[in-house]
Structure 1
Amino acid sequence: MTPNTAPRLVANHITVIRNRRKTVDDVSLTLNAGELTVLVGPNGAGKTTLVRAIIGLIASKGSVSFDGTSLRAMTPRARARAISYLPQGHEFHWPMSVDSIVALGREPHADPFSQTSAADRVAIERAMQATAVTEFSSRLIFELSGGERARVAIARALATEASVLIADEPTASLDERHQLIVMDLLQRIAHDGTAVLAIIHDLALAMRFADRVVVMHEGQIAANDTPALALTPDRIAEVFGISVNRVETPDGPLLIPSRAL
């Protein structure tokens, strides 16, 4: 973790009510520069709902500020420059080239009729280099593997040069190698100064890569701490209904699921 962390995105008392039920109940969360925060919890815990509420995609109670400014007071374009959001799925619907897709990340910086500027080209190239997709730049997105598409999606978000990056299940449907590649990439992005929040299901990945782990359970935060303190065997048993074995490795502690409780 970088030593000079500072709050970038602060959410206070976020509550979401759907069908007369609180799916997110009075949750407060701060995302710090230079820190990879991983949000975990069982299915239905409210993780995606919380994220969508924080960035204003669904109605909620509470407040969210970016660098001290209320998100509600910011224009949609200003919010898009401040926060990059990767939804679930890495879905692409058009046969576009990789460089064209990454260039879409620059849209918040110009009107639809603007020419690509020198600053745009620098940001696009930097994002592609950071995610190691430059070699695919002229290929169509549908020609790439799932792991390669995931990196292109992250490159598009990086091209925005936002101070906050939020990724919803960026490792879903990827094999183990590409899960490690994506998590290592998100960690490096965070440690370069971006405030990164990633929703993932794999507790071993959370333990391995996160600077901070937030555990959600039944719409509330059950823990918000370092991985070792947030993901204790007792808490995992209570929240996830499983027992785990903790194994010390040269890369740090590893969680291995043992059995359902």
Structure 2
Amino acid sequence: MTIYQGKKAAVIGGTHGMGLATVARLLDGGADVLLTGRNEGNIATIRETFGARVHALRSDIADLNDIAVLGAAVGQKLGTIDLLHINAGISELEAFDKVTEASYDRQFAINTKGAFFTVQRLAPLIRDGGSIVFTSSVADEGGYQGMSVYSATKAALVSFASVFAAELLPRGIRVNTVSPGFIDTPTKGAAGLTDAERAEFKALGDAVTPMKRNGTADEVARAVLFLAFDATFTTGAKLAVDGGLGQKLSTPA
């Protein structure tokens, strides 16, 4: 399959879960891909799995020095890119009265500050007519218990995407967001869960999602790539990939 032959993409947070599924589809389609992750073990696994087919860079999205190094690496390895996918993120489930300054700062640094400055650094490398896709969350609106800080970071991300879409219109760069619900990934989208807690989280997703199941990482990847390459008259939009959860659908009696 050569659907993405000649395309170049940078996937920020691409070593596992939804990011890895997006990378796999890009590579299968013939794209040239640079991906990042913070965990050296995950980076090593990616290099072992994909070899020279992918450029894997250990990079912390919350570190402005790492973002500068990332920009240089993208320019050196890929030149200009057709897609920048910002997928790196962290969720720490805490009641609002248990939130610490450290957990607050950590989530905003990764989900919001890092995303902003990564786009600022890499935007000049996106070719005119290219695309940016953010990964947000069904929790970016409404009220979900234990997600006060996380929800705020993702709501900010959607706002960033809207403004970036307006500011990049003169270059024809489209900026859109995917908003996943419960997705069956190794971490279930939340930091620090035990195996039992992840199983409970998955069961909760099956119960509360109108389609009565968790989504797959590949379903999110397909939505990302639709926005990136097929939705050529769409910018500033948010696409829900949540089995109807965010739409408050009810099951027929």
- TM-score by length of structure 1 reads 0.36
Higher relative contact order (CA 8 A, sep 6+): 1
* Structure with more helix by fraction: 2
Larger Rg: 1
- TM-score by length of structure 2 reads 0.36
